[in-house]
Amino acid sequence: MTKNRRVVITGIGSITPLGNSVDVFWKNIKSGQSGAGPISVFDASRFKTKFACEVKGFDPLEYIENNKELRKLDKFSVFALAATQQAFTDSNIQLEKIEPEKAGVIWGSGIGGLDTFYKEAKKLIESTGSPRMSPFFIPKMISDIAAGLISMKYNFQGPNYATVSACASSSHAIINSYNYIKNHNYDIFITGGSEASVTEMGVGGFNALHALSTRNDDPKTASRPFDQNRDGFVLGEGAGCLILEELEHAKKRGAKIYAEIIGSASNADAHHITAPHPEGRGAKKVMQQAIQNSKINPESIDYINVHGTSTPLGDLAEINAIIDVFKDHAYNLEISATKSMTGHLLGAAGAIESIICIKSINDNYIPPTINNKTLDSKINPNLNLNLNKGKEKNINTAICNTFGFGGHNTSVIFKTYTD
Distance, CA of 79 to CA of 278 (rounded, Å): 34
pLDDT at 129: 83
pLDDT at 334: 98
Distance, CA of 188 to CA of 93 (rounded, Å): 10
pLDDT tier at 130, thresholds 50, 70, 90: confident
Q: Is 400 a catalytic site residue?
A: no
pLDDT at 3: 65
Q: Is the pLDDT reported for residue 357 higher than 60?
A: yes
Q: Is the pLDDT reported for residue 175 higher than 60?
A: yes
pLDDT at 359: 98
Catalytic member of 167, 241, 357, 400: 167
Distance, CA of 194 to CA of 169 (rounded, Å): 9
Percent of the chain with pLDDT strictly greater than 90? 95
pTM above 0.95, yes or no: yes
Half-sphere exposure of 274 (CA within 13 A, CB side): 12
Q: State the average pLDDT over residues 46-54.
A: 98
pLDDT at 313: 93
Catalytic member of 53, 344, 357, 408: 344
Q: Parallel, antiparallel, or unpaired: how do β-strands 238-246 and 188-195 relate?
A: antiparallel
pLDDT at 322: 98
pLDDT at 2: 56
pLDDT at 311: 94
pLDDT at 368: 98
Q: State the average pLDDT over residues 191-206.
A: 98
Q: Is the pLDDT reported for residue 1 higher than 60?
A: no
Q: State the average pLDDT over residues 30-38.
A: 98
Structural domains in the chain, sorted by start: 7-252 (3.40.47.10), 263-415 (3.40.47.10)
pLDDT at 134: 93
Q: What is the rounded average pLDDT for all residues in the chain?
A: 97
pLDDT at 131: 83
Where is average pLDDT lowest: 50-54, 130-134, 255-259, 269-273? 130-134
Catalytic member of 172, 249, 277, 307: 307
Q: Is 172 a catalytic site residue?
A: no
85 Cβ contact partners less than 8 Å away, ≥ 6 residues apart = 13, 63
pLDDT tier at 102, thresholds 50, 70, 90: very high
327 Cβ contact partners less than 8 Å away, ≥ 6 residues apart = 298
pLDDT at 128: 85
380 Cβ contact partners less than 8 Å away, ≥ 6 residues apart = 319, 323, 331
Q: State the average pLDDT over residues 32-54.
A: 98
Q: Is 307 a catalytic site residue?
A: yes
pLDDT at 163: 98
277-335 pLDDT, tens digit per residue, is 988 899 999 999 999 999 999 999 999 999 999 999 999 999 999 999 999 999 999 99
